[in-house]
C-alpha cells in the first residue's frame, strides 16, 4: 500500500483529474470510499493480528493472578452433583466410587476414611462456594456442610476445601493431591504453583467471612451438645490416633503440623509422668518425716503424740495449699479474642500449613499454649484444632 502511493503515481492522478474534471466529481467520491474501505479493512486486520499476537504472548502468572471477588455459578450444577456423590460415597465407605470421583487416593487415605466414616450417619446441607482458577476448567471450592454423627442429635457445621479440575472427557473430578489428607501427610508431591494459589484463595476476605460464619456455628453446636463434644474431642480423636499408630503413616514424610502435634503429645505424656513421679517422691518424703517424728516422740504421752500429729497435718495442709497457690493450673478451656487480622495454622510454627485468616474481634475457644502459640478450636484444622500466635490473642476477662 505504501509503494502504491509514491510521488510518480500521485502526479499521474493529479494530471488525470485536471484533464477530466467533469467526470472526476462522481468518480472521486467512489474512489474515496473504496480507498477508505481498504484502509479500514487493512487496519482492522492488522489490529486483530496484533491483538492475537499479544494474547498469545501474554499469559497471567501465578504471582499476578487474582481471584474474582465474587463466587461464581460456573459449572454449579456439575460441581454440586460431584460433591453430593463424593460425600455419599465417603459416608458409605464406598472406596471404588470415591476413587473415581477423587483421584489419586492412596491406600492410607482409604484406611483413614474407613476408620472415620464408621461414625458418620450422613453429610447434609452441602453448599459449594466456587471461584474459577488460573487455568480454564479449574475451580477452587469451599463446601459448607453439616455432619450427622451416629448417636448424636446435633450436627457439626464444617467447612471443607476441594480443588476441582476438568478431565479430558469433559467431566469434573476432584484433584485429590490437594485434599486435606495429602496436604497433611504429603504422600503425593504438591505443585508449588497450585499451593500458592490455594494460599491466595484462603487469604481472601471472602474465605475469612465464610469461615468465621461456620466457626461460630461450630462453636455453638459443640457448646450446646455434650455428646457432640465427646464425639469430636474424644471418640473421633481417639480413633484417629489409633489409626495413625497402626497404619504406618507415621513413617512417611509428614507436614510440620503433625510432627509438632506428635511432639506435643509426647511432651504432655512426659510432663504427666514427671508430675506423677514428683508426687510419689513428695509422698515418700512426707512419710519419712512423719516416721522420724514418730520415732522422736515415742517416749511422749499419747496426748502429746496426738497433738503433734494434728500439728503435722496442719503444716502439711498449709504446705500443700501453698504449693497449689504457687503453681496455678490453666483451665481446660477458655475464651480468646483476636486482636487483629490473624493467620491460622495447622501447627505451632510459621512453616506449618496456613489454614486461613480470621478478622479482628473473633471469639474462639482455646485449649492452652504450645510455645508462642495458642491451640484453638478451628473446624478446618486437624481434629478441629489449629494454632494462632498468642501475641495476637486476648484472653476474655483479662
Given this model, what pLDDT does residue 146 score?
Answer: 97
Grid coordinates of 84: 453430593
The Cα 256–Cα 393 span in angstroms is 23
Give the pLDDT of residue 96.
96
C-alpha dist (Å) from residue 47 to 1, 3, 42, 54, 189: 16, 21, 9, 10, 44
Four-way CATH pick for 63-257: 3.10.450.540, 3.40.50.970, 1.20.840.10, 2.40.40.20: 3.10.450.540
| Whole-number pLDDT of residue 396 | 84
Number of Cβ within 10 Å of residue 147's Cβ equals: 22
Could you give the CA distance from residue 21 to residue 306 in angstroms, rounded to a whole number?
144
C-alpha cell at 313: 497435718
Q: Which helix (H) or strand (E) holds 128?
A: strand 120-132
Q: At what angle do helices 256-296 and 302-326 cross, to 10 degrees?
A: 160
| pLDDT tens-digit readout, 18-32 | 555 555 554 554 445
| Helices and strands (H, E) in the chain, number of each type | 12, 12
> In terms of CATH architecture, what is 334-395?
Roll (2.30)
Ranges under pLDDT 50 in the chain? 1-2, 4-5, 26, 29-31, 33-42, 44, 47-57, 253-266, 268-331
Q: Exposure pattern of 27-61 as b/e (b: 16+ CB <10 Å)? A: eeeeeeeeeeeeeeeeeeeeeeeeeeeeeeeeeee
Q: What kind and span of H or E run contains 286?
A: helix 256-296
Let me know: does 142 contact 210? Beta carbons within 8 Å.
yes
User: What is the CB-side half-sphere exposure of residue 233 using CA atoms within 13 A?
Assistant: 17
C-alpha cell at 317: 495442709
Rg from Cα positions in the chain: 36
- d(CA 145, CA 180) in angstroms, rounded, equals 16
CA neighbours within 13 Å on the CB side: how many for 218? 27
pLDDT of res. 16: 52
The residue with cell 487474582 is 66
Distances (CA, A) of 85 to 37, 71, 98, 138, 174: 58, 22, 8, 19, 11
Sequence spans of domains, the chain: 63-257, 334-395
Q: Residue 288 CB: number of other CB atoms within 10 A? A: 10
Q: What percent of the chain has pLDDT above 70? A: 64
H helix intervals, 203-235: 205-224, 226-230
Per-residue pLDDT tens for 232-283?
Answer: 989 998 999 889 888 877 665 444 444 444 444 445 444 444 444 444 334 3
Amino acid at each position: 500500500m505504501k509503494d502504491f502511493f509514491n510521488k510518480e503515481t500521485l502526479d499521474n492522478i493529479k494530471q488525470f483529474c485536471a484533464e477530466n474534471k467533469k467526470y472526476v466529481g462522481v468518480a472521486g467520491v467512489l474512489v474515496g470510499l473504496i480507498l477508505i474501505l481498504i484502509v479500514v479493512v487493512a487496519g482492522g486486520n492488522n489490529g486483530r493480528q496484533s491483538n492475537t499476537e499479544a494474547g498469545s504472548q501474554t499469559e497471567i502468572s501465578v504471582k499476578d493472578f487474582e481471584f474474582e471477588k465474587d463466587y461464581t455459578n460456573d459449572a454449579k450444577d456439575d460441581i454440586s452433583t460431584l460433591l453430593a456423590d463424593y460425600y455419599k460415597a465417603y459416608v458409605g465407605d464406598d472406596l471404588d466410587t470415591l476413587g473415581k470421583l477423587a483421584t489419586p487416593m492412596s491406600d492410607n487415605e482409604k484406611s483413614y476414611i474407613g476408620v472415620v466414616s464408621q461414625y458418620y450417619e450422613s453429610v447434609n446441607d452441602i453448599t459449594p462456594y466456587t471461584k474459577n482458577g488460573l487455568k480454564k476448567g479449574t475451580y477452587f471450592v469451599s463446601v459448607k456442610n453439616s455432619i450427622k454423627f451416629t448417636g448424636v442429635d446435633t450436627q457439626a457445621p464444617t467447612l471443607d476445601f476441594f480443588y476441582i479440575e476438568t478431565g479430558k472427557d469433559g467431566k469434573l473430578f476432584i484433584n485429590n493431591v490437594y485434599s486435606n489428607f495429602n496436604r497433611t501427610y504429603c504422600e503425593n508431591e504438591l505443585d508449588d504453583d497450585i499451593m500458592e494459589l490455594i494460599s491466595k484463595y484462603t487469604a481472601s476476605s471472602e474465605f475469612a467471612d465464610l469461615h468465621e460464619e461456620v466457626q461460630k456455628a461450630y462453636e455453638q453446636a459443640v457448646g450446646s451438645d455434650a455428646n457432640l463434644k465427646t464425639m469430636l474431642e474424644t471418640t473421633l480423636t481417639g480413633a484417629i490416633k489409633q489409626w495413625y499408630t497402626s497404619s504406618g503413616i507415621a513413617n512417611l514424610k509428614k507436614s510440620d503440623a503433625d510432627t509438632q502435634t506428635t511432639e506435643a503429645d509426647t511432651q504432655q505424656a512426659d510432663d504427666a509422668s514427671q508430675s506423677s513421679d514428683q508426687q510419689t517422691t513428695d509422698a515418700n518424703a512426707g512419710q519419712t518425716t512423719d516416721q522420724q517424728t514418730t520415732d522422736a516422740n515415742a517416749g511422749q504421752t499419747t496426748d502429746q503424740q496426738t497433738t503433734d500429729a494434728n500439728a503435722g497435718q496442719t503444716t502439711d495442709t498449709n504446705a500443700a495449699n501453698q504449693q497449689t497457690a504457687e503453681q496455678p493450673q490453666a483451665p481446660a478451656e477458655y475464651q480468646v479474642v483476636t486482636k487483629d487480622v490473624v493467620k491460622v495454622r495447622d501447627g505451632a510454627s510459621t512453616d506449618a500449613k496456613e489454614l486461613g485468616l480470621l478478622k479482628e474481634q473473633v471469639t474462639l475457644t482455646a485449649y492452652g499454649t504450645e510455645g508462642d502459640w495458642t491451640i484453638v478450636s478451628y473446624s478446618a484444622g486437624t481434629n478441629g484444632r489449629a494454632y494462632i500466635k498468642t501475641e495476637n490473642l486476648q484472653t476474655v476477662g483479662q
